[in-house]
Structure 1
């Protein structure tokens, strides 16, 4: 029951923010320009800050919708975490602000995003009470070893 309530609540900020970035990239483009230039050099992608802002917005909106509806919530949360880090670092550089009011506002937004990052990280590892892949792999290996020992013991008994 908690997951059914918490996931949409966590996702809401990503869906609304993503749609806003997609529809109105505005001031985000100026903030993103230095980052997208470096990213374009490294990744060999086009240096188009507006496209990157819109793409990030689309990723957040889509991933947020997936999380809210419970469709592949671990993958959606991982994608949200991956998109939130550059968004936060690029958009809320409180350490570069000279004006105290602006610095405080960006610091609050930075800390809010840090809290959201913690939330989506928890959601990314939440298996909803079901065993995760690592546990399943370990359990399968343990079962295989157990079965091998049993087969070996049965073979010895059959020979004697």
Structure 2
């Protein structure tokens, strides 16, 4: 593993662990801000809890677990995807700069929105990072190419030996062997 991955993953994960712990400890502080985003999502997805505080806690738990896993380098691609999934509703709920009244508040919320958008980009890059190892897609394509090559070799060898084998078989049949 490269030094950049060893240092970068915990740095990226730290924000999620801290924010997730905050949401787990005091969901009531975040719930009013999250309500405009939580309600439409909870209405469409039946498996999610109905109460906003429960969804805030669930989001926080995923952020803590994903952040710890990402920081430790365990299942980094999956944990980055999980963190990205939690970041979208968090950003849409907490940093609605287009609804801010004062220009200073609007500018501050825009900065936080763009910061979260940048973190989302980093998470997506992390989710795509194979750590220098070939991806599953590459491995499957490579294996399929190898199988096609082997099938071609078998087909050529069968064609090359089928004619002489048929001739020998025909000669043996005529001779009664």
> Would you say same fold, with TM above 0.5?
yes
Shift of 1:36: 2.0
Contact 2:35 2:93 in 1 (8 A): no
Query: What residue in structure 1 maps to residue 173 of structure 2?
Result: none
CA RMSD of aligned residues (A): 1.1
Which aligned runs of 4 or more in structure 1 are off by greater than 6 angstroms? none
Q: CA deviation at 1:76?
A: 0.2
Counterpart Cα distance in 1 of 2:27 and 2:49: 17
User: What CA distance in whole angstroms lies between the structure 1 residues aligned with 2:7 and 2:80?
Assistant: 15
Q: Which residue of 2 aligns with 1:125?
A: 128
SS in 2 for 1:143: helix
Q: How does 1:62-141 map to 2 (within 5 A)?
A: 62-141=65-144
Alignment correspondent of 1:154? 157
Q: For the residues of structure 1 that align with 2:28 and 2:115, how far apart are their CA atoms?
A: 22
Q: Which residue of 1 aligns with 2:20?
A: 18
Looking at structure 2, the residues matched to 86 and 34 of structure 1 have their Cα atoms a distance apart, in angstroms, of: 10
**Aligned equivalents of 1:55 and 1:141: distance in 2?**
41
Distance 2:96 2:81 in 1: 23
* Structure with bigger gyration radius: 2
**Which has the higher mean CA deviation after the structures are superposed, 64-73 or 40-49?**
40-49
Partner of 1:49: 52
Which deviations, in whole Å up to 9, do the C-alpha atoms of 1:89-113 show, x marking residues without a partner?
1110000001122111111110110
Q: TM-score, normalised by structure 2?
A: 0.86
User: Contact 2:67–2:83 at 8 Å: present in 1 too?
Assistant: yes
Q: Does the 8 Å contact 1:14/1:64 carry over to 2?
A: yes
Unmatched runs of 5 consecutive residues or more in structure 2:
165-177
Q: Equivalent residue for 1:40?
A: 42
Determine the C-alpha separation between the residues in 2 that align with 1:149 and 1:11: 48
Deviation at 1:40, TM superposition (A): 2.2
Question: What TM-score, normalized to structure 1?
Answer: 0.95
Matched residues in 2 for 1:78 and 1:17: separation? Answer: 17
